[in-house]
Structure 1
Amino acid sequence: MTIHFQVPQEKIPAQGERSFLKIGDKSLALFNVAHQFYVIDDSCPHQGASLCGGKLEGKVIQCCAHGLRFDLTTGFLLNSTKLRVTSYPIEQVGELMFILINAGETYE
């Protein structure tokens, strides 16, 4: 079953910004890079540090704790296919934005 979580209008980040979202037991980071939106788990898969506050360079987010850098488009650690942060698709309908979360599954 896919859950369509409607992002509150005040949580949709402006271009170049990001926002933190809590959806049930999930903590997510929503990024707006050049008017393209990306959503990932806020927890770094290395040791669980928050990614939302990390350094953002283009489509790459750097973990504050140990400097690991993840591609927002794929969720993968740069130059690797072994370590990945879960990412989620976004659906936009007019002014509304929805994050699609499969119950019981992770998005790849």
Structure 2
Amino acid sequence: MNSSDRVSVGAVDELGPGQRKLVFVDGRSMVLFNVGGALYAIDNACPHNGASLANGHLDGCVLSCPAHGLRFDLRTGCMPGAGGLNLTTFPVQAIGVKLFVSLEDPGVNPASASASASACNAAP
């Protein structure tokens, strides 16, 4: 990710292990997660019906949609098992004292849907 792709979304100390943070970037609602020190960023909309995922139950790296209980792996954006819907994920990283996401390289989009499906089927 180069510096022109990165958007600052806050300070590192605002997202400690086990915490999540709702952010808005260029009109898009996203949720950042810190799972055991690993950082993840997802679109704050369930691909099933658009429900907010910000308050979903998190079990390890698996987030459950509060509306209908669909589960998604934050690492891949995929539903566990074969097939299913995919979340849009974004690269997120800590640089110095700031957190950055990249909007240029989302994990799921129409142009890469088949590649994402393959990645999901190979996910842990």
Q: Which runs of 5+ in 2 are unaligned?
A: 109-124
The whole-number CA distance in structure 2 between the counterparts of 1:59 and 1:77 is 11
Matches within 5 A, 1:1-108: 3-9=5-11, 12-102=14-104, 106-108=106-108
Give the drift of 1:24. 1.5
RMSD: 2.0
CA contact (8 A) 2:12 2:98 kept: no
Count matched residues: 106
Q: Which runs of 5+ in 1 are unaligned?
A: none
Letter in 2 for 1:42: N
Instruction: Give a deviation string over 1:7-30, Cα, whole Å, max 9, x none.
Output: 222883221110101112211010
Following TM superposition, where does structure 1 have runs of at least 4 consecutive aligned residues deviating by more than 6 angstroms? none
The whole-number CA distance in structure 1 between the counterparts of 2:12 and 2:92 is 16
Q: What percent identity do the matched residue pairs reach?
A: 36
Larger Rg: 2
Letter in 1 for 2:97: E
Letter in 1 for 2:107: Y
CA contact (8 A) 2:10 2:100 kept: no
Give the drift of 1:3. 3.1
